[in-house]
Amino acid sequence: MRVLVALSGGVDSSVAAAELRRAGHEVEAVTLRLWGGPSDSGCCSVSDVEDARRVAAQLGVEHHVFDFSDRFTERVVEPYVADHAVGRTPNPCVECNRHLKFDALLDRADVLGFDTVATGHHARIVDRAGVASVARGADAAKDQSYVLHPLLDPDTRRVLFPVGGMTKRRVREVARSLGLRTADKPDSQDVCFITASEGRAAFLSSRAALHPGEVVDTDGRVVGRTEAVELVTIGQRRGLSLAGGGGRRYVLDVDVPARRVVVGPPERLRRDHVRISEVAWNGPVPTGPVLVQVSAHGVVRPATVEGTDPGASTAVLRWDEPSPRVAPGQSVVVYDGDVVVGGGVALP
Give catalytic residue positions: 96, 192
Please tell me the distance from the alpha carbon of residue 257 to that of residue 47, in angstroms, as a whole number: 41
User: Is 295 in contact with 146 (CB distance < 8 Å)?
Assistant: yes
